[in-house]
Structure 1
Amino acid sequence: MASLPDPTATLTGAGRAIYEDILARRQAKGVDHLGPYIPLLNHPQLARLIEQLGYFYKYDSALPRDAYQLVVLILAARSGVTFVWDDHVAAARAAGLPEAVIDAVKTAGGAPSAPLPAPFDTVAGLADAAFAFRSIPEALQAQAISRFGVTGLLELVTLCGFYTMMGMVNACFDVPLPHRKES
């Protein structure tokens, strides 16, 4: 197991302040765990910057929550990083992502063979291009701009990159899922 130590008990000075800020920001939004931020806190300045970007995507971006969660689930299914899937599937449902879309993504390993309903077809098409490091077809880009604006298009593409990084952190350092109470 390639995990890194949990440094939170030994952080001091600026590192301690960064940890407390990350913890407070997440708790204020009802998030009950630090997940990949635990290994990242072995480099507090990097953890701070990554968490700020993640916070933006999760809470301040222009994207509809269902589109955001679809990108995350596509990455999870494509990569096989179960932490990401397990940590986001309930949030995807709560955001209104249809169960049929969730099932199609999971069953197809992140690349549904049948077209998804709008606007999820656009999100999945952008994710396909981004995860394959391909240019976005012109018609798909126009459709994305029509549905989400240029801002949303940029957020969708860069969100693919962000969750690729987070998937790598979770997988490379064997980040465990939080223990949650059964409801």
Structure 2
Amino acid sequence: MTDRLGPIPPEQMSDAQRAAAQAIIAGPRGAVYGPFIPLLRSPELMEYAQRMGEYLRYRSAIGVRLSELAILVTARAWNQQVEWAIHAPIAAQVGIPPGVIGAIARRERPQGMLVDEAVVYDFCVELHRDKQVSDHTYGEALALFGEQGVVDLMGLNGYYTFLAMVMNTAQTAVPPSTMPPMPE
């Protein structure tokens, strides 16, 4: 697969692209990589997207551990290897057990999840599969995370779906990872 929208050499960037790239480099990501490479073609969109992603990834109301779990479920739903390569190692570092990560990769419901992990997993799977969330699952998420947590969980699914669509269309190159890729 050819990377359709690969890196733009700095000398070929517009002023707006340079400013948008610098904003990402100066933030917690520290570099322009993954979805931000193709998104750089639309610097204003990239700026808004990265700001939303910065909140959802680093400060969401459900916390980093559960955010990473939601990202993995979304990556699996969209067969998005870049998201997987980046976020599977992070998920492991923040406490998602290897067995849970492996089951998600294989499209299996993980065994032995903590209650909050199971609620996030079910919420995300239902949202991607059914395009809605059942009253039961919604009620469990609401009881655990409150309204802001539920909205942030919806936001995580939507945001990482957006990134998956961008990278799947752009055929973004998969970076090296400490975790194996998802099976086809």
Shorter-chain TM range is 0.7 to 0.9
- Give the alignment of 1:140-179 within 5 angstroms: 140-178=137-175
Tell me the residue number matched to 1:92: 91
Which residue number in structure 2 is paired with residue 16 of structure 1?
A: 18
Structure 2 length-normalised TM: 0.84
> Which one-letter code corresponds to 2:129 in the other structure?
A
Asked whether the 8 Å contact 2:56–2:155 carries over to 1, the reply is no
Q: CA deviation at 1:95?
A: 1.0
Q: Quick check: 40-49 or 76-85, which moved more? A: 76-85
Partner Cα separation in structure 2 for residue 12 and residue 46 of structure 1: 15
Partner of 1:71: 70
User: 2: CA distance between counterparts of 1:179 and 1:104?
Assistant: 21
CA distance in 2, matches of 1:88, 1:48: 21
1:8·1:16 contact (CA, 8 Å) conserved in 2?
Answer: no
Find out whether 1:137 has 2:137 as its counterpart.
no
The separation in 1 between residues aligned to 2:50 and 2:56, in whole angstroms, is 10
Equivalences for 1:84-123 in 2 at 5 Å?
Answer: 84-107=83-106, 109=107, 111-112=108-109, 116-123=113-120
Identity of aligned residues (%): 24
Count residues with an aligned counterpart. 176
Match of 1:125 in 2: 122
Q: RMSD value over aligned CA atoms?
A: 2.3
Q: Which runs of 5+ in 2 are unaligned?
A: 179-184
- What secondary structure sits across from 1:7 in the alignment? coil
Q: Separation in 1 of the partners of 2:170 and 2:4?
A: 4
User: Displacement, 1:33?
Assistant: 4.7
**Structure 1: which 5+ runs fail to align?**
none
